[in-house]
Amino acid sequence: MAHKVTLIPGDGIGPEISQAARRVIDASGVAIDWEVVEAGEALIEEHGTPLPPYVLESIKKNGIALKGPLTTPIGKGFRSVNVTLRQELDLYANVRPARSLPGITSRYDNVNLVVVRENTEDLYAGIEHNVGKDAAESIKIITREASERICRHAFDLARSQGRKKVTAVHKANIMKLSDGLFLDCARRIAEEYADIEFEDMIVDAMCMKLVQSPDNYDVLVLPNLYGDIVSDLCAGLVGGLGVAPGANIGLKTAVFEPVHGSAPKHAGKNKVNPLAILLSGILMLQHLEEHQAADSIMHAVTAVLNEKQKVTYDLGGNASTSEMADAIIEKLPR
Ligand code: NAD
């Protein structure tokens, strides 16, 4: 029976990359019944919101979604649609693997780590207000419940993927109460997983060490804001945002999306790399236990990257988004 999956094309480059990913996934032979729902900037005029209720209803009904990026105007207007989705669906774990891929020239060829980012609280809760007209205050929320849940997720992920070490990342030397609580939770949960090595690291030192020797790290677990920043750093270690996939996991639903945003300056040019959303699609197929399709697509991607003939500009080529997708489809088993 076909899996029913919500597909949100998204803003900016979203429609072109999600179309490319959909074509490749369909060509792999896996049976997916896509329910396409629109969200984003274009809907504000008609619906008064970039996130009409039918979007959440569709994801709740199907339990799974592949999502293109959605634009959030800086400094004004609507609250981030992405943050709203994660909070409304309680997608508490943002999982972002960073793995060196063949054929991609980057600083390292031996990176294989996973960033596990808490996805529901911290400064990302967006609770802020003006204090007079020359100051603003933002509230950082860290709770035991959310911290223990994300740390447990990180250790479970390490165990299920045969990984050896979890590093909790924080700034508890300065934010003694909030990050101190996160660190305390990480230490407590670590005691339940004697088979997995545990260490903690201050976020600034973590950034330096990741740039110097990323192969020393395996699973990183972080509060929301540090996770957002460090995962882009990790994307930079393996070839950039064009190849960085992500998953937002909750108890009942999961939404798979690239780490990158809507890149408005490239929109409509059929130019950007479809891999970040396609690799997110592979994570989705693994979640659906469609391992054969996931493996076939990964082999096809690897073949195209190794040949370096049909890759997009960010990987040093001049293929378009759709040409790269066609090349991957060509490599799929018939
Ligand atoms: P961005 O990730 O959209 O783009 C930054 C740059 O990265 C681009 O200009 C481009 O050079 C490169 N890039 C991104 N995706 C690429 C791809 N697939 N292939 C090749 N190069 C790629 O970041 P931004 O410009 O800061 O954000 C634009 C909008 O996206 C903002 O409104 C932001 O809020 C939103 N955003 C959404 C999400 C999401 O939907 N989850 C995530 C991040 C940013």
Q: List the structure tokens of 206.
A: 């973590």
CA-atom Rg of the chain in angstroms: 20
Tally of CA atoms within 13 A in the half-sphere of 245 that contains its CB: 25
Higher pLDDT, 220 or 107: 220
**pLDDT (tens digit per residue) in 151-189:** 999 999 999 999 999 999 999 999 999 999 999 999 999
**Residues contacting ligand 1 via CB (< 6 Å):** 17, 69-72, 82, 241-242, 257, 260-263, 265, 272-273, 276, 314
What number does the ligand 1 atom closest to the CA of 260 have? 2
Comparing CA positions, the residue from 249, 232, 247, 305 lying closest to residue 277 is: 247
3-state secondary structure of 76: coil
- CA 261 to centroid of ligand 1, rounded, Å: 3
How far is the CA of 331 from the CAs of 35, 276, 303, 325, in angstroms?
A: 27, 18, 7, 10
Domains of the chain listed by start with CATH number:
1-106+240-334 (3.40.718.10), 121-237 (3.40.50.2300)
Does the pLDDT of residue 83 top 90, yes or no? no
- By most ligand atoms within 8 Å of CB, the mutation choice from 241, 255, 270 for ligand 1 is 241
Give the position, in ligand 1's atom list, of the atom nearest the Cα of 313. Answer: 20
Q: Supply the residue whose CA is at minimum distance from atom 9 of ligand 1.
A: 263
Q: Quick check: 77 pLDDT over 70? A: no
Residue closest by Cα to atom 37 of ligand 1 = 261
Helix or strand run (H / E) with residue 5: strand 3-8
Strands 197-202 and 165-170, by their bridges, are parallel
pLDDT given at position 1: 87
What burial class does residue 2 get, using C-beta atoms within 10 Å of its C-beta: 0-12 exposed, 13-18 middle, 19+ buried?
exposed
- The reported pLDDT for the residue numbered 76 is 63
Distance CA 4, CA 33 (A): 5
**In 63-179, which ranges are E strands?**
64-67, 93-99, 112-118, 128-130, 136-138, 165-170
